[in-house]
Amino acid sequence: MLSRVAESIYWMSRYVERAENVARFIAVNLNLSMDLASEGHQQWLPLVTTTGDDKLFYELYDAPTKRNVLEFLTFDRNNPNSILSALINARENARSIREVISAEMWEHLNNFYLMVKDVGRAGGVSEEQLVFYEQIRASGQHFIGITDATMTHGEGWHFGQCGRFMERADKTSRILDVKYYILLPSPQHVGTPFDELQWSALLRSASAFEMYRQRYGRINPANIVNFLVLDKEFPRAILHCLSRANDSLHAITGSDPEGFSNLPEQRLGQLRASLAFTSAEDIVNRGMHEFVDDMQRRVNAVGGALSNTFFTRHAEAA
């Protein structure tokens, strides 16, 4: 497979996953803000922090009002991580590899982009905002389904899987990081309905609420960390994401799943192993933020190694 094509599939998948994640955060927060309105606890800045773009936000807007944050995260082309920017990037990547992906994938992604663009052009989201973000989330998930059902599960598909799961691992870690900070400094709320509401919101941000309930029943912070970081079977848990990325990486190279044949495989293997042999208690004791920080650095390092190994156009002619 052409290096350029592999790279485009990888980024196409990452960007769709990114758009979907941002939409999910927003939808959850819109919901939450309705419950919290009476308490005067509306918070919109954490959403920006989740995507890691606080600095850029303050360059472009003066205050983290609901309206500003929604604009910044949804339609602002100056924000490379806004939903619209992510979809433009996903679509541009898809457009450059239309001959490799299925017609259904392209058509869906093109429509997905047109849908968001049209709402933006028509003046942004208004009354039906929740529906709009649910639509984006659903479109992102449809894309995954269509990809799974129509694209040969060969090398290209595996690059897409790598992109999707790396992005998802990163986003789950960010959700934990930000929410942990919001939740931690309010001991007066511990055990109150307000506390429960916020932890539930965190789970919903990762589409993990029902699955968590099935597994653990009651809301409990240590169990939530366990579920979102270390669960082997939940598809948005960090360890699960890294394992799936690892599977695809080995499928691409054909190397022994227990060993490694190149730098990304080595780095990813090490990261997985260190997660597999830790526990929620270890993480909380060590410090959630420190853990997440380290995690993101290492996920990025895997991404860098992946790019150098497969996408960089080496072997120049003499």
Partner 1 sequence: MQQQTSMERVNGVSEYDVGDFYDEMFAHDASPRDNCNLLYKRVIGLTTLDLHRRKMAAERSMVRLGITFNVYGDEEGTERIIPFDILPRIIDADEWKWVTDGLKQRIVALNMFIDDVYGDQKILKDKAIPEHVVRSASSFRPQCVGLKPPKGVWCHITGTDLVRDQDGKFYVLEDNLRCPSGVSYVLQNRQLMKQAFPDLFESLSVRPVDDYCGQLLDALNYLAEDRAETPTVGVLTPGVYNSAYFEHSFLAQQMGVDLVEGRDLVVQDKKVYMRTTKGLSKIDVLYRRIDDDFIDPRVFREDSLLGVPGLIEAYQAGNIALANAPGTGIADDKVIYAYVPQIIKYYLGEDPILPNVPTYVCWDDKQRDHVLNNLHNFVVKPANESGGYGMLIGPRSTREEQAKFADLIKANPRNYIAQPTLSLSRAPVIIEDRLEGRHVDLRPFIIYGRDVFVLPGGLTRVALKKGSLVVNSSQGGGSKDTWVVEELP
107: number of Cβ within 10 Å: 11
Query: Is there binding between residue 107 and partner 1 (CB under 8 A)?
Result: yes
282 lines the binding site for partner 1 (CB under 8 A): no
Comparing CA positions, the residue from 230, 228, 185 lying closest to residue 203 is: 228
Residues 55-94 that bind partner 1 (CB under 8 A): 92
Judged by CB under 8 A, does residue 255 bind partner 1?
no
Q: Which is nearer to partner 1, 178 or 252 (CB)?
A: 252
Residues 157-196 touching partner 1, rule: CB under 8 A, are 159
- Token pair 């060969």 in the structure block, residue: 154
Which residue of 15, 44, 75, 106 would you call a contact of partner 1, by CB under 8 A?
Answer: 106
Total number of residues that touch partner 1 (CB under 8 A): 30
Q: Does 315 bind partner 1 (CB under 8 A)?
A: yes
Give me the amino acid identity at 173: S
Q: Does 318 bind partner 1 (CB under 8 A)?
A: yes
Crossing angle (nearest 10°) for helices 103-121 and 83-95: 150
Q: Which stretch binds partner 1 (CB under 8 A): 99-107, 133-141, 216-224, 235-243?
A: 99-107
Categorise residue 52: left if φ over 0, alpha if ψ from -120 to 50, beta otherwise. Answer: left
Question: Shortest gap between Cβ of 318 and partner 1 (angstroms)?
Answer: 7
Residues 6 or more apart in contact with residue 252 via CB below 8 angstroms: 155, 158, 159, 162, 310
316 lies in the binding site for partner 1 (CB under 8 A) = yes
* CB 100, CB 9: distance < 8 Å: yes
Cα 179 to Cα 34: distance, rounded to the nearest angstrom: 18
Q: Does 98 bind partner 1 (CB under 8 A)?
A: yes
Report helix, strand or coil for 73.
helix
Give the residue, chosen from 35, 54, 134, 155, that forms a contact with partner 1 under the rule CB under 8 A.
155
CA 187 vs CA 53, 181, 195, 199: distances in Å: 28, 12, 9, 13
The yes or no reply on residue 252 touching partner 1 (CB under 8 A) is yes
User: In this complex, which beta carbon is closest to partner 1, that of residue 9 or of residue 292?
Assistant: 9
Residue 129 is a binding residue for partner 1 (CB under 8 A): no
- Selected binder of partner 1 within 25, 75, 291, 310 (CB under 8 A): 310
Count Cα atoms within 13 angstroms, Cβ side, for 119. 23
272 contributes a contact to partner 1 by CB under 8 A: no
Task: Select the span of 43-51, 100-108, 136-144, 192-200 touching partner 1 (CB under 8 A).
Answer: 100-108
Using the minimum distance from each CB to partner 1, give the nearer residue, 140 or 156. 156
Instruction: Give me the helices (H) in 42-192, please.
Output: 45-51, 54-60, 66-74, 83-95, 103-121, 129-150, 155-183
Instruction: Pick one of 34, 60, 114, 131: the residue that binds partner 1 (CB under 8 A).
Output: 114
Cβ atoms 14, 58 nearer than 8 A:
no
Cα(162)–Cα(14) distance, integer angstroms: 9
CB of 314 to partner 1, least distance (A): 8
Please give the residue ranges that form the binding site for partner 1 (CB under 8 A).
1-6, 92, 95-100, 103, 106-107, 110-111, 114, 155, 159, 252, 310-311, 313-318
